[in-house]
Structure 1
Amino acid sequence: MTTLWDTTGSAVVKELAAQRRTGGAVLSGVALTLVVVADESRVAEAEEAATHAAEMHPCRVLIVVRRQIDAPVPRLDAEVQIGGRLGPGEAVVMRMYGRLALHAESVVLPLLAADAPVVTWWHGVPPERIATDALGALADRRITDSSLTEDPTATLRRRAEDYAPGDSDLAWTRSTAWRAVLASTLDSVSGRRSDAVRVQGGRIEGDPANATAQLLAGWISSRCGCAADVVEGSRNPGPSGVEAVGLRLDQDEQLEVRADHRGGAVISQPYRPDSTLALPERSLGDLLSEELRRLDPDEPYSEALEAATGLHGLSDRAPVREHVWFDPAAPEGAPPRRRSGGRATSADAVTS
């Protein structure tokens, strides 16, 4: 690892190339560039998750830490490494001070792997509008986490209003295990075919303010064409915000999946004894790795987000964005400025 203090973007590019020549690294094995945006307090978590994801998906990891935006003098400190603590591939950790932090793309763009998709992940509170962050406008996939905000329900609404195909949410990824269990359980109800089982209503017990619980209810509503409500549970639901899911089926049948808080779940279904299966809480690295498995738009997520927020037509929007310049130091009420450039433009930003 090489640490560059008070450096420049050009020096970072040169150091990365020098380390690649010295170590004999082969860039052709890189499948994508993962851009991680994190606060200093969350850098350790972000690095651990990105390292796990890089082991599963060969990628160049670029971690951007915006520090002291109000610092009088712009400065860049960078750690450059290949095959180090951040996984087997190439990684750069950049800490930006002053106004440079508002123009992080000027340092990141030359470091993107050529002809490889770009995924941007915000490990922290996401921007109100992704188009105001150039690191989101240049990405093919954009990953946020509504669960990290003070009001996840309101954040889901903002994510729906700002949605463009290619957006995703780790709050949605946390529901994967629940969705898999429910789908497989419906396949085995009383020996009936899954297409012969009709779900007439759903109930999610847990935290009504949790984004994962709301998205799981939206998924049931969008897939089954029925109402699914989130009600207050009786115990601590854990990070997923879900304690149990009950489905009301046709033929006056009930199906329930309830977490047992020992890393498993108890399944109760008609005409069969209760059964158990694994339902462990997943690490942040596992969630991020799942999101990197596919780079096309996640249509089930957009449908669940529509049902959870009441907004429609999300998947019909343009999948690219135009960067909208936003200066947090500008006077309140000052209009944003749009600028061309980057890897993508967006029709929804032009009309917003």
Structure 2
Amino acid sequence: MTTLWDTTGTDVVKALAAERRSAGALAFGLALTLVVVVDEKHVSVAESAATTAAAAHPCRLLIVVRRQVDASNSRLDAEVSIGGRLGPGEAVVMRMFGRLSLHAESVVLPLLAPDAPVVTWWHDVPPDRIAYDPLGVFADRRVTDASVAEDPIAALRQRAADFAPGDTDLAWTRLTAWRTLIAAAFDSLIEKPRAVTIVGGDVDPSVRLLSGWFSDRLNLAVNLETKAHRGLAEVRFDLDDGELTVARQDSRTAVLKRPGQPDRAVPLTERGLGDLLAEELRRLDHDGPYADALAAWSGIGGLASRSPVREHIWRDPMTGTAASPTTAGTASTTGMAGTTGTIAGTAG
């Protein structure tokens, strides 16, 4: 591991090259570059999750910690390692101080793995518009988590307003086990449910996305029974001959009740953050079902048909003003096909 204090982006690139030579990793196979954006107080959680995901998907892990934007002097501290505490792959942790943190792409772009997709994950509240952050503009996939916002439901609605193909949210990923279990429960049924009821947390964005998925797939109005807790508790379907119910018992199991059959305990494990992130790294194309569910819940149509190309909009958080996107430049979210007004350098 190499630690660099008050360094430059060029020195970080050289240190990574030196670490690769030292580790004999010149031909190291990288499936993608994972860019993690996090604040200092959540670094350890983000590092743990990214390490779990990187173990399943060989990648170059770039962790960007933006600190003290209002500091008078810009500074970059970096930790470069291969096969160290952040897993078997390549990892660079960059702590950026002052105005440099607003131009993190100038350091990150030269570190992207060549000819590999880029995934950006905000383990923090993302910008209202992804186009405000070049780290999201140049990514092929962008992962957010509405549940960490002060108002998760409003955050999820903002994700719909700002959606572009390639976006996803971990609130949707948390539903994978539920959706799989519910789909399997209908394998032996031929009738369509007459009504659907979801019981869950009143501020849980996953509950809203599940209602959107049912509304889109079943073309039914969904009844929500919200309670003052987090998490999805129960789903009930009204059928002609009774009620089909999936109810969580604990963090590992649920009970499946079907008309004319005995109750059955089924696995429904709550997954950790690293497993959720690893699932999102398995697919690097547009997540159509997520777009459909988000559109059905939010009432904002045509999400899947939007352009995947974002225009970078320079916005200074110290003043709250944003430049016109026509003067800020463009970058393709399907690869580094262009540059933005504040992006310096390209991936090599």
The normalised TM-score by structure 2 is: 0.93
Structure 2 letter corresponding to 1:138: F
Alignment of 1:294-333 (within 5 A): 294-330=283-319, 332=320
1:34-92 CA distance string (max 9 Å, x none): 00000101100100000000100000000000000001011000000001111111000
- Deviation, 1:328, is 1.0
Q: Hey, what does 2:40 align to over in structure 1? A: 40
Q: Hey, what does 1:256 align to over in structure 2? A: 245
Alignment RMSD (CA, Å) = 1.8
Alignment of 1:271-282 (within 5 A): 271-282=260-271
Q: Hey, what does 1:232 align to over in structure 2? A: 226
- Deviation, 1:247, is 1.1
Whole-angstrom distance in 2 between the partners of 1:263 and 1:279: 5
Whole-angstrom distance in 2 between the partners of 1:199 and 1:129: 38
- Deviation, 1:208, is 2.5
Higher relative contact order (CA 8 A, sep 6+): 2
Give the SS at the match of 1:88.
coil
Greater mean alpha carbon deviation, residues 19-28 or residues 142-151: 19-28
Q: Is the 1:32–1:58 Cα contact (8 Å) retained in structure 2? A: yes
Q: Is the 1:263–1:281 Cα contact (8 Å) retained in structure 2? A: yes
Whole-angstrom distance in 1 between the partners of 2:115 and 2:267: 40
Q: Hey, what does 1:246 align to over in structure 2? A: 236
- Deviation, 1:307, is 1.2
Out of 205, 211, 215, the position equivalent to 1:217 is 211
Q: Hey, what does 2:94 align to over in structure 1? A: 94
Work out whether 1:16 is the aligned partner of 2:16: yes
How many percent of aligned residue pairs carry the same amino acid? 57
Give the SS at the match of 2:309.
coil
Alignment of 1:150-229 (within 5 A): 150-188=150-188, 192=189, 196-229=190-223
Structure 1 runs (4+) greater than 3 angstroms displaced: 332-338, 341-346
Whole-angstrom distance in 2 between the partners of 1:218 and 1:95: 39
Out of 274, 281, 284, the position equivalent to 2:273 is 284
Whole-angstrom distance in 2 between the partners of 1:7 and 1:102: 17
Q: Hey, what does 1:49 align to over in structure 2? A: 49
Whole-angstrom distance in 2 between the partners of 1:156 and 1:199: 27
1:309/1:27 CA distance change after superposition, 3 Å: farther
Alignment of 1:335-350 (within 5 A): 335-336=323-324, 338-340=327-329, 342-344=331-333
Whole-angstrom distance in 1 between the partners of 2:28 and 2:2: 23
Whole-angstrom distance in 2 between the partners of 1:27 and 1:325: 37
Give the SS at the match of 2:266.
strand
Whole-angstrom distance in 2 between the partners of 1:66 and 1:40: 8
Whole-angstrom distance in 2 between the partners of 1:218 and 1:18: 49
- Deviation, 1:333, is 5.3
